[in-house]
């Protein structure tokens, strides 16, 4: 009766309860029987704890359980303490063992099995740590932007036209009308600059990418920012730098156990992240590393080499690649402004941010003048009627503005050394995966 009134203790709190009787609740993470002595590892939201007993009727792994027992210092136990089991109660027994032993899971060992059984493998300590770090990262993104006067918005994910161009749109049937899943909140976040001037959104977006790579998902979490009354895309890069610094500061403060578990080190975010134009970047990787860059952008190898160059020469893991050619940017991107004030037809104010060898952000200044926008839509051979709901707002004094978007899974994966963005999402959608 006395123990029934015990409050729940978290595994993390055991050191504060040495010598006391505590009640732990969680999942049976692992169990071992050593000649009559039984060891169990209980996992709760705060970590794991070892408990030791005998004569216990142990359920299958992943059963949810309650353990009551005395806390004892034990140097070999995880966290330095163990619980000597006085009673074990099975709250809900697992009806079958998990298809893989959770304590033994590693990235990329049987990756398909891990994803097929994601409902339970996502409970794994590393899997959970990655998602926890991402949650902290998103919280930091929000908090920092709010502190700089940004307002959170929510824009439609069912849309009538693509925002980013390309063929990677998911068509859907909207009561008999053609519609699409949103590729990005781009057009709506720009419209909302007319309301709040500084806005951000945290929401999934959809890309019908047919290829399976370690950096592409068909549904990913986009961390979007848009701000009005800027001078140029430099203002946008400055904000992004501060956002990244705030993210790393929060992770340092709040995600140490997860970072340690994953063996991850946080990057320093320099006050000024180096900036190099795309043209110069292409030349650099060709001249320094002998890599001939195909296409109009940087290919993945060029991104890797450019990051390597900045790590070696400036000791930074971030670099902005700026002044993208028009041909490599969407129709809404603002042209570079020549010294005489005219618009450069070939170069834009679009940029990417590379982190540890991979593009994690695109951004730039946007076209804000109605006639210029209509001209761009015509140049890109897009249908002005399908974009009329967007272009309309440019009749009403849209200020110079710009923004950026961070792919949350790419940033998480690069931060934590996770080899594939699929493991930086609880339930990834890829070319072959619609469940769970």
Measured at CB, which residue is nearest to ligand AMO? Answer: 407
- Within 10 angstroms of residue 371's Cβ, the number of other Cβ atoms is 9
**φ, ψ for residue 26, nearest 5 deg:** 175, -155
Site for ligand AMO in 373-412 (CB under 6 A): 403-405, 407, 409-410
Q: Is residue 240 involved in binding ligand AMO (CB under 6 A)?
A: no
Is 424 part of any known ligand binding site? no
- 53 or 407, CB closer to ligand AMO? 407
Q: Which of 29, 144, 215, 282 is catalytic?
A: 215
- Mark the segment that binds ligand AMO (CB under 6 A) among 50-58, 170-178, 353-361, 388-396: 353-361
**φ, ψ for residue 248, nearest 5 deg:** -65, -35
Residue 29 in 3-state DSSP? strand
DSSP secondary structure, 332-369, as one string: TBPEEEPTTSPEEEEEESEEEEEETTEEEEEEEEE---
To the query of whether residue 359 is one of the catalytic residues in this protein, the response is: yes
To the query of whether residue 410 is one of the catalytic residues in this protein, the response is: yes
- Within 10 angstroms of residue 234's Cβ, the number of other Cβ atoms is 15
- Mark the segment that binds ligand AMO (CB under 6 A) among 132-140, 261-269, 358-366, 379-387: 358-366
d(CA 154, CA 197): 15
- Element of type H or E holding 239: helix 233-254
Q: Is residue 238 involved in binding ligand AMO (CB under 6 A)?
A: no
To the query of whether residue 422 is one of the catalytic residues in this protein, the response is: no
Q: How far apart are the first and last CA of the chain?
A: 42
Residues in the interface with ligand AMO (CB under 6 A) total 22
To the query of whether residue 401 is one of the catalytic residues in this protein, the response is: no
Residue 197 C-alpha from the chain's centroid: 25
- Give the contacts of 367 (CB within 8 A, at least 6 positions apart): 332, 333, 334, 335, 373, 376
Site for ligand AMO in 171-200 (CB under 6 A): 184, 186
Applying CB under 6 A, which of residues 38, 121, 362, 365 lies at the interface with ligand AMO? 362
To the query of whether residue 211 is one of the catalytic residues in this protein, the response is: no
Q: How far is the CB of 117 from ligand AMO (least distance, A)?
A: 23
Q: Is residue 363 involved in binding ligand AMO (CB under 6 A)?
A: yes
Q: How far is the CB of 205 from ligand AMO (least distance, A)?
A: 7
To the query of whether residue 201 is one of the catalytic residues in this protein, the response is: no
- 284 or 421, CB closer to ligand AMO? 421
Strand order in the sheet with 151-152: 151-152, 198-206, 219-228, 401-407, 358-366, 350-355, 318-322, 275-277
d(CA 403, CA 399): 13
Q: Which of 356, 410, 414, 425 is catalytic?
A: 410
Q: How far is the CB of 135 from ligand AMO (least distance, A)?
A: 18
- Which residues of the chain form contacts with ligand AMO (CB under 6 A)? 164, 184, 186, 207, 209, 216-217, 220, 222, 359-364, 403-405, 407, 409-410, 421
- The catalytic residue positions are 207, 209, 215-216, 359, 362, 410
């Amino acid at each position: 009766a006395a123990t029934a009134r015990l409050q729940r203790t978290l595994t993390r709190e055991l050191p504060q309860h040495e010598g006391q009787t505590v009640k732990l609740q969680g999942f049976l993470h692992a169990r071992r029987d050593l000649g009559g002595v039984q060891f169990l590892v209980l996992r709760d939201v705060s970590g794991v704890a070892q408990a030791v007993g005998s004569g216990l009727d142990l359920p299958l792994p992943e059963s949810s359980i309650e353990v009551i027992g005395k806390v004892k210092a034990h140097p070999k136990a995880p966290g330095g303490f163990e619980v000597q089991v006085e009673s074990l109660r099975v709250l809900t027994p697992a009806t079958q063992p998990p298809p893989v032993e959770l304590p033994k899971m590693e990235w990329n060992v049987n990756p398909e099995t891990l994803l097929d059984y994601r409902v339970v493998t996502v409970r794994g300590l590393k899997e959970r740590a990655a998602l926890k770090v991402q949650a902290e990262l998103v919280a930091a993104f929000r908090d920092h932007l709010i502190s700089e006067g940004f307002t959170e918005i929510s824009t439609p994910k069912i849309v009538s036209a693509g925002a980013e161009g390309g063929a990677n749109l998911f068509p859907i049937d909207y009561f008999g009308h053609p519609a699409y899943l949103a590729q990005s909140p781009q057009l709506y976040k720009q419209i909302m600059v007319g309301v709040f001037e500084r806005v951000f959104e945290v929401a999934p977006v959809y890309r019908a990418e047919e290829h399976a790579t370690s950096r592409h998902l068909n549904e990913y979490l986009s961390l979007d920012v848009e701000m009005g009354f800027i001078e140029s895309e430099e203002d946008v890069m400055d904000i992004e730098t501060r956002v990244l610094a705030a993210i790393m500061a929060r992770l340092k403060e709040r995600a140490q156990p997860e970072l340690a578990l994953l063996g991850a080190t946080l990057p320093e975010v320099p006050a000024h992240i180096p900036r190099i134009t795309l043209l110069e970047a292409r030349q650099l990787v060709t001249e320094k590393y002998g890599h001939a860059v195909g296409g109009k952008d940087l290919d993945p190898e060029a991104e890797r080499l450019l990051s390597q160059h900045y790590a070696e020469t400036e000791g930074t893991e971030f670099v902005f690649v700026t002044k993208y050619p028009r041909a490599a940017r969407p129709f809404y991107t603002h042209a570079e402004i020549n010294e005489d004030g005219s618009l450069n037809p070939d170069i834009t104010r679009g940029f990417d941010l590379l982190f540890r060898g991979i593009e994690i952000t695109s951004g730039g200044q946007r076209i804000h003048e109605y006639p210029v926008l209509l001209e761009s839509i015509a140049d890109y051979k897009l249908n002005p009627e399908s974009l009329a709901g967007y272009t309309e707002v440019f009749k009403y004094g849209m200020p110079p503005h710009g923004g950026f978007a961070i792919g949350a899974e790419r940033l998480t994966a690069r931060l934590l050394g996770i080899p594939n963005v699929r493991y930086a999402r609880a339930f990834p959608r890829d070319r072959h995966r619609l469940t769970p």
